[in-house]
């Protein structure tokens, strides 16, 4: 009977591709935290290298530059958010309930370092090279929000309103959370979402 082929170290050691991806994600996660704590412009690649205890040239093996890091952080967060919103849109819930879920999903993003980058610093610091790639995702977010509001107006669960203004108001309120929300503060993102959802529901159903 043939014995199964054994590999050195078994499966304990990841492939080079897996190691590369893990290290890249470690760079992004650490950078996102520094961007949120110190600000994008105030954070240098030297700061990041020191935090990770690697040399600055090592970073360039995984990323192009500081803008590339922010772009990848934003892309990671907004892609996940849009996937969750798509599930909400495809559900059989009323427009009001979809809006409530949307607010909960969006605010929960601020529990994560990547999610907080969506609002602050957001895409503003990026050059045209990166903005042209990330802007379409923000356009999708805006369109998805309007679609949810329009569905509520259509099914009668929300009163007639200007979807554009309602979208700007809701997204503005949620994005502003990064200016004041503290993870270790008195409220969780879920509790904030419940308050926001109640306020918007009152305003859009009254």
Confidence of residue 12 (pLDDT cuts 50, 70, 90): low
The confidence score (pLDDT) of residue 4 equals 53
Token readout for 73 is 């952080």
Contact 118, 109 (CB under 8 A): yes
Q: Which of the 8 DSSP states describes residue 109?
A: G
- At 187 the pLDDT is 85
Q: How many residues does the chain have?
A: 206
| The residue to which tokens 């890091």 are assigned | 69
Candidates 119, 18, 126; CA nearest to 64 is 126
* CATH number corresponding to 70-205: 1.10.357.10
C-alpha–C-alpha distance, residues 129 and 204, integer Å: 39
**Residue with structure tokens 């499966």?**
11
Position 16 pLDDT exceeds 90: no
Q: What is the mean pLDDT of residues 94-113?
A: 92
pLDDT at 8 exceeding the cut of 90: no
Pairwise CA distance, residues 67 & 73, whole Å: 10
Q: Which of 41-55, 83-97, 105-119 has the lowest mean pLDDT?
A: 105-119
Mean pLDDT throughout 23-41? 91
Bigger pLDDT: 19 vs 147: 147
User: Any idea which residue has 């979402």 for tokens?
Assistant: 193
Please write the tens of the pLDDT for every residue from 155-203.
999 999 999 999 999 999 988 887 787 777 788 888 888 998 898 888 8
Question: Would you list the domain boundaries of the chain?
Answer: 70-205
In the chain, count H helices and then E strands.
10, 0
Which pair of tokens denotes residue 183? Answer: 């993870």
Q: The pTM is what?
A: 0.83
Distance CA 171, CA 103 (A): 9
Residue 140 DSSP label: H
């Amino acid at each position: 009977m043939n014995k199964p082929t054994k590999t050195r170290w078994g499966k304990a050691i990841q492939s080079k591709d897996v190691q590369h991806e893990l290290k890249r994600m470690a760079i992004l996660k650490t950078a996102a935290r520094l961007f949120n704590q110190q600000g994008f412009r105030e954070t240098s690649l030297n700061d990041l290298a020191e935090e990770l205890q690697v040399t600055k040239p090592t970073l360039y093996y995984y990323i192009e530059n500081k803008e590339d890091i922010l772009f990848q952080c934003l892309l990671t967060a907004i892609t996940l958010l849009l996937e969750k919103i798509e599930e909400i849109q495809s559900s059989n819930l009323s427009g009001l309930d979809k809006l409530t879920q949307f607010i909960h999903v969006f605010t929960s993003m601020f529990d994560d370092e990547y999610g907080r980058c969506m609002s602050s610093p957001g895409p503003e610091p990026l050059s045209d090279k990166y903005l042209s790639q990330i802007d379409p995702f923000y356009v999708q977010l805006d369109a998805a929000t309007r679609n949810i509001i329009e569905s509520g107006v259509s099914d009668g669960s929300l009163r007639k309103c200007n979807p554009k203004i309602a979208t700007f108001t809701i997204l503005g309120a949620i994005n502003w959370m990064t200016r004041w929300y503290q993870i270790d503060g008195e409220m969780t993102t879920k509790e904030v979402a419940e308050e926001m959802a109640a306020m918007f529901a009152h305003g859009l159903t009254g």
